[in-house]
Amino acid sequence: MNVESFLKHRLVCVAVIHKPEDAVPLTEALLAGGLNCIEVTFRTAGAAESIARIRKALPDAAVGAGTLLTPDNVKAAADAGAQFGVSPGLRESVVKAAQAHNLPIFPGVITPTEVMEALDLGCKHLKFFPSETFGGVNALKALGGPFSHTGVKFIPTGGITAATLPNYLAVPHVAAVGGSWMAEHKLVADKEWAKITALTAEAMKVIAQTQAK
């Protein structure tokens, strides 16, 4: 898969999975709702195992590793079978480690300087994080002025909800949106798979309506 195929649904479920045994049922719930892309954050001890389980059981799912803070995180993610990586910030050693493992990486940026540095490192798909805290849609629109011609695309994440999803999707240089509302910790902990499927389906309906306009 290439980057465009990971992001074709224009939504990435950002999930914190504490128990690896929840990884496959969660991803199955997302798939049932029409979404094939999940980012498993490296905030728990079971992140790598969760990725490996999903990759083995559900080959149709696109599985990424999030919260990659160090080159060691990148190696663990690649070894587990992650198909893309996401970092909350821009760190050259992390980007280069991902490139060495042939792992597409979406580093986090906020400022124009960080965007320029990311472009220098060969990154065209950038996480905009934490989006709502740093201006959200208006900030992304402003960044479009000096950078749209470069081909850069943003994946805003952080504080986005089902209600604000359409506003982000309307920004031309937003490739996809990262969100956790359809798989919040309590929903996963309580194994509310049907609820997760319903929330995902609602989001996919919004995306379809946006694309139809």
Active site residues: 39, 127
All residues at 6 or more sequence positions from 57 whose CB lies less than 8 Å from its CB, including other chains:
24, 27
Helix %, strand %, coil % of the chain (to 5): 50, 15, 35
Query: CA–CA separation, 140 vs 146, rounded Å?
Result: 11
Q: Is 37 helix (H, G, I), strand (E, B) or coil?
A: strand
Asked if residue 161 lies in contact with residue 136, where contact means CB atoms within 8 angstroms, the answer is no
